[in-house]
Each structure stands twice: as structure tokens, then as C-alpha cells.
Amino acid sequence: MTQARAHSAGPAPAPPLWQLLQSAARVLQAVRQGQSATPALAAVPAELRAGTQSLAFQALRQLGRAQALRTLLARRPPPPAVDALLCTALALAWDPASAPYEPFTLVNQAVEAAKRSRATAPQSAFVNGCMRRFLRERDLLVAATDSDPVARWNHPDWWIRRLQADHPQHWEALLRVGNEAPPMTLRVNRRRSTPDAYQRRLADAGLLSRRVGEDGLVLAHPCPVQALPGFDQGLVSVQDAAAQMAAPLLLEGLPTPPGGRPLRILDACAAPGGKTAHLLERADAQVMALDVDPLRCERITQTLARLGLQAQILAADAARPKDWWDGQAFDAILLDAPCTASGIVRRHPDVRWLRRASDIDALAQAQTRLLEALWPLLAPGGRLLYCTCSVFRAEGEARIRSFVAHNTEAVLQAAPGHLLPSAGAIATSVPENQAGEYDGFYFARLDKRV
């Protein structure tokens, strides 16, 4: 009896590969239907989620090649569920050097996945035929797709052309890094620890890391947050090194308010709260955090509660101050504006397939509306930090150049400008040995004339 209980308390067996392939294919199908991978993964049973995400993200990073191969194997697209399963398997298996399993195993398990799903079972023989042919002719099929830029770079054609125009010296590096898994970067809560002290705690737990930025540590190998010492107690957060630059850039050199009152700061478009928290970790300030989505405001509340921090959190549209502003000017404003997220595509590989070329102009207009709505709320002598997690110049340099040209009160100060995740930084002092540790971002610091 004791042995039986001990056995039942052991770790659950890993789910079979065919089941993970089914689940990853459903995520891919959801993305193709215009849904973000985030809610699609949230709907996956907990015991399958980690494995599903790993396979789905790799499939999304190799989807251009997979779609080109599927076209050669079956020129008429099969039903969506079958096509998603085929493309998932092809994306994972086409390059043996990066395949998570032996290609032969992936093919066998893809056929098994087809047989075990009502949506794909009628065409399991078709899946079997396509995948067996792929195994036989892999080299010829891959060579036949090499001339297709979407297959080669695994990004939409319009995205490739946009990067070629915006970053003619770095576009290839940007596309390559977009297909890599990102590092796991931590931000140490300086109210509760220091980077050096926390790095020692990580080492004691068998987790190697290296310093990045003022408050950051990059793990040598990613791990679940539950494995981070003191995570639940608020010692540390997960935040990319580029995002960690926002709070210091906004706060550095800000004049002390008269009368000894605390800084009054607005974090517009604040969810999920990482930058709000970083501001509060670094300064004794009154922070108002806005987000238009009430559910995402809950994320801000949860983030701050874990870290032992407090802010005024409002569910409101930052572009409509008349709905929420009390008339008191802000000393500083952080505007992390909605954008294409082209700079964080390695973290969110679905983004490239969800976005359309027309989104850039629509988002640029929204960014301009936010700048114009928030600028009057800034006190004379105050500062606005504009940032986007984008590498497209229309959402960064071009947006700020246009704004400054039409606002004589705005003075553009030295700031990083466009950060590129693989090629280092443009117009910035980020050390070259930290290239690749940053997501793609744009920063502009605007001071308001007195």
C-alpha cells in the first residue's frame, strides 16, 4: 500500500508527442484565423501547455518555410485543421539540426495526431502521404523553396521589405534574430535587494546569470518563475533589458518638485505593469497607471501587489484625458504606445503573421493622437518619454520627428533612439557586448520648455 501511494505521488508522465502536436496545430490554426497565440495557449490544458508552447512557438518561427513546403507537397490547400497539422509538423522537421525530435519521429507522431482527431482523421492517409514524401525528398523540397524570401526568412514579404528600407545594413540580422528564442532577463527590485546580492542567490540555487543594465540579470538558461528565489516575495520580476531602460531614462535628472512633494508621474498604456513597478522601485513618486482594458488593469494590480508597491490604477483611454484627468499637471509621463510589436517578435512569434502592412499607418496615427493628447498634461520643465517595442521607423524616429516639428515647446534630448536586438543599438551607448540581450525598442525623451 505504501509503495502504491509513493508511486502515485511521483511526477506525472510526459504527454505523448502526438497530443502535443495536435495542441500546437490548434494554436497555429487560431493564429491563422487572426487570434493571438496568448489566449489560444491559455485554453490549452495545464499539463500540455508548456510542451505545446515550445512546439507552437518553434512552428511559428519556421512557418514561412513550412507553408512553402506544404505548397509543394499539396498544391491545393487541405482543410484548415489538416493544413495546420501539416505545417506544424513540417516546421518542426524540415531542418534536422534544429528539430526538437528526430524527423522520422515527428512524421510518425503527426500521422498519429491526424488519426486521433475527429477534424483530421478522414484525411490521415493524406497527411501520411505528404509527410512520407517529405522524408524521401526533403533535400530537394527544401532546395526548391530556398528562392522564396518568405520561406528563407520566415517573415511576411511586406515585413521583409519594410526592414530592408528602414535598416538597410541590419535587416538580415533582424530577421535572423526574430527566429531565435529570446533570453530570460530579470529585473531586481532595488527596494528589496541588489543585482549583485540576487545574483549570488541565483548561483546558490544553481542558476547562472550575468549582469545587464542597471538592475538586470540575464539567465544562462530560462527557468520557470517558480524556480526563482524570492519571486513570490517580490525580489525580482521578469522584464527584458530594453524595457528596463524606460524608468531610468524618464527619471534621470528630473528636477525635484517644489515644496518637497513627490514626483507626479503618469504611466500611460501601463499594463501589465512592469514599467510602473520599475518607476516605483526607483523613485518615491505618486504614479498613476492607465490602461484602456479593465482586465489588463487587474494585471497591473497583481504585479504591484507581489512587489509590495502601490499606484493609482485607472481603466481609461489615455487619448481622452477629459474622462480621467483631474487638472493637475504631471512632472513626467511615460508613453509606451501601442505598436506593431515588431521588436519583440522573438518573444511573440505569432505577431509577424497577425500583423498587416496597413497596421503601421493605423498605429502611427494612434501614436500621434496619444502624444498630442498627453503633451498638454505635462508641467513646464517636465519630461515625456515616448517608447515603442518596434523596430519600424514609422513608429519611432519618424513619429517623434513629426511631433517635434509641430511643437515648439518640445525639446528632444539625447536618448537611445532605435535599439536593434541583434545588431546592437543605433544612436545609443549600449555596450556592443550586450547586443542581442535587448528586444527591439525605440526611445525618445522630450523635455517641455519652461
Cell 514561412 found at: 64
Backbone angles phi, psi at 368, to 5 degrees: -65, -40
Q: Which helix (H) or strand (E) holds 185?
A: strand 185-188
- Closest by Cα among 213, 241, 168 to 421: 241
Task: Report yes or no: 63 and 154 within 8 Å, Cβ to Cβ.
Answer: yes
Q: Provide the angle, in degrees to the nearest 10, between the axes of the packed helices 46-61 and 63-73.
A: 80
CA atoms of 139 and 291, how far apart (whole Å): 50
Catalytic entry in 87, 297, 339, 389: 389
Q: Is 297 a catalytic residue?
A: no
- 209 three-state secondary structure: strand
Backbone angles phi, psi at 345, to 5 degrees: -70, -25
Task: Report yes or no: 15 and 22 within 8 Å, Cβ to Cβ.
Answer: no
CA atoms of 253 and 29, how far apart (whole Å): 49
Prior bond of 258 cis (ω within 30°): no
DSSP state, residue 100: S
- Beta bridge partners, 314, equal 290
Q: Which helix (H) or strand (E) holds 68?
A: helix 63-73
Cell 505523448 found at: 16
Please list the alpha-helical segments (H only) found in 146-268.
Answer: 149-153, 157-166, 171-178, 195-204, 246-251
- 436 three-state secondary structure: coil
CA atoms of 46 and 62, how far apart (whole Å): 25
**Strand pairing category for 441-448 and 410-420:** antiparallel
CA atoms of 47 and 50, how far apart (whole Å): 7
CA atoms of 133 and 110, how far apart (whole Å): 14
**Strand pairing category for 312-315 and 285-291:** parallel
The cell for 172 is 538580415
Residue positions annotated with a catalytic role: 389
